[in-house]
Amino acid sequence: MQMNPVLMESAVVLAVVLCVHMVVWNQHSWCSVALVIQAFYVQHKWDRLLKSGAAVFQFRPAANSGIVPASMVMPLLGLVLREKCSASGNVYFERFSMVVTVAGMMLALFLSLIALGITRPVPTNTCIVAGLAGSAILYTTKQTLTVSEVIEVLEVLLIFVYLSLIVLYLLPRCFTPGEALLIVGGISFIMNQLIKRSLNLSEVKGDPVNYFLPVVVVGSLLLGVFFALLFCFMESETWVSSLFFHMMTAVLVLGILMPWLSLFIGRHPIMWLLDFVTLNDRRLCLLGYWVFLAVAATCVVLHQNHQRQSGSKKHQASTVVRKYFHLIVVATYVPGLVYDRQLLHVASVGCLAVFLLLEYVRYFRIRPLGQLLRQLLTLFLDERDSGPLILTHVYLLLGMSLPIWLFPGPCAPKGVLPGAGGLVPYAGVLAVGVGDTVASVFGSTMGEIRWPGTKKTLEGTATSVFAQIIAVAMFLIFDGSINLNSTYSWIVGSITLVALLEAYTSQIDNLLLPLYLFILLLL
């Protein structure tokens, strides 16, 4: 029986939305139900625009628009965070979570308006559904947010509009509309929060660790946009241009980002980092272990490229070889989650900065490493790397790290959430490191029964679920802070739903799956 995978993907997302709605049950959860219905209608319009080539910008081919799963991430994330913060009595983060929810809904509505505005003939029924959903969301926003919070949402929307124009113009075929919504929307929210806190330094509070990520994200964005525009007018492969790139990068880091970060943490970042890393011997041991794994990953890349040079020029890394990196990342993150999550937080942010800088060097062909990186990474390209950037490794890092970065520490008593919430920091390890890896390996080598309309197999999905359940049992043994109480059935159901989403989605699963598992476990 032939089945449309887009319908099944939307059905899984709807099931997640209804799970959140049944637990939270407030005005915003009703709006999330209305939002997923209108996103379902709008997704068909986006898909038709992509097939006809009338979508204004060039999006990633061989994938649907992904509007439904992407539209619901920020609203659902805000809803579950608000529920946890409300239960812990943290009013500030409860209001902040409401802003996250409404901002996510507004960004999704804006993307819907774009599709409806350029679709010809005008889709009357879809316009009515979108209008009703938009009216409900606007009315709820008026009733629940203060004027300053509404202004904050509008600021995020404004940044999103301009940033989308820049990113989608400079990076054609890198994203689907849904991935652009998720990535650019998240960056827009981070930029707005960083600007807001920079203008109100007297209100800056909290753990200094939490300020590294916003500064790195904004700094990387500024660096990329600046050189992308500059190298439109000059050649980037010469030694002069390469020297200028390195000098301007040093100026940005030492002259802007370091002083900016010192305003938030109250000390020079390098001195603070030295004290942080050398706090105890365990941190030094973890760092040494991670350096060893980084060297091992580099050896895998060099070995695979040596095989390509000695064999066929068309040789590409197999699925099993790609999953070696997933196993290395699991071996990296699990000890950090068990023994020192703060160090893992800072190290993952630093790794993100290094990955983005190396990708700029490769993309602009900056000497002396630019051309070498192009040759080494070409082996690991797949159909998702159809644009000028290679983002697969960045998505893997984000998928593993986002549950750690998003963990609601201020709303968690003693830094630990009860029940299934104890597994929230492990969402990336479970969904990407274990689930996606096992599904790909077993599905490609042993799978025979395919899910209708997809290349994914039933055997791959089933082994993925079983492997994640076994991984949960292992985490219970090694991490004494986890206390699941009687939430085993909820955990199994959440893992199964996310495994089904992996089977049917054509979006970047390394990015999408951890976020949905994070949302379900946080309930």
pLDDT tens digit sequence for 312-371: 555 566 666 777 888 899 999 999 999 999 999 999 999 999 999 999 999 999 988 888
Task: Tell me, yes or no, whether 150 lies in a domain.
Answer: yes
Range of the domain at 105: 1-204
For the residues of 156-219, what is the DSSP string, one character each? HHHHHHHHHHHHHHHSTTS--HHHHHHHHHHHHHHHHHHHHHHH-GGG--S-GGGGHHHHHHHH
Q: For the chain, give the percent of residues with pLDDT over 70.
A: 96
- Here the tokens at position 479 are 């991490």
What pLDDT, in 10s, does the model give residues 129-185? 889 999 999 999 999 999 999 999 999 999 999 999 888 888 888 888 999 999 999
Total domains in the chain come to 1
Q: For the chain, give the percent of residues with pLDDT over 90.
A: 49
To which residue do tokens 């365990």 refer?
A: 282
Task: Tell me, yes or no, whether 7 lies in a domain.
Answer: yes
How much is the pLDDT for 321?
A: 72
Radius of gyration of the chain (CA): 23
pLDDT-based confidence at residue 311 (cuts at 50, 70, 90)? low
pLDDT-based confidence at residue 201 (cuts at 50, 70, 90)? confident
How much is the pLDDT for 427?
A: 94
Mean pLDDT of all residues in 298-317:
70
CA quadruple 212, 215, 216, 221: dihedral, nearest 10: 160
How much is the pLDDT for 514?
A: 95
Answer yes or no: is pLDDT of 40 > 60: yes
Task: Tell me, yes or no, whether 130 lies in a domain.
Answer: yes
Answer yes or no: is pLDDT of 117 > 70: yes
The pLDDT mean for the chain works out to 88
Q: Which amino acid is at 479?
A: D
Mean pLDDT of all residues in 41-47:
87
Task: Tell me, yes or no, whether 368 lies in a domain.
Answer: no
Answer yes or no: is pLDDT of 3 > 80: no
The whole-angstrom separation of Cα 67 and Cα 41 is 10
How much is the pLDDT for 207?
A: 79
Task: Tell me, yes or no, whether 152 lies in a domain.
Answer: yes
Task: Tell me, yes or no, whether 508 lies in a domain.
Answer: no
**Hey, is 450 helix, strand or coil?**
strand
Task: Tell me, yes or no, whether 334 lies in a domain.
Answer: no
Task: Tell me, yes or no, whether 175 lies in a domain.
Answer: yes
The whole-angstrom separation of Cα 510 and Cα 196 is 30
CB 224 within 8 A of CB 360: yes
How much is the pLDDT for 303?
A: 78
CB 346 within 8 A of CB 435: no
Residues in the chain: 523
How much is the pLDDT for 339?
A: 92
How much is the pLDDT for 352?
A: 94
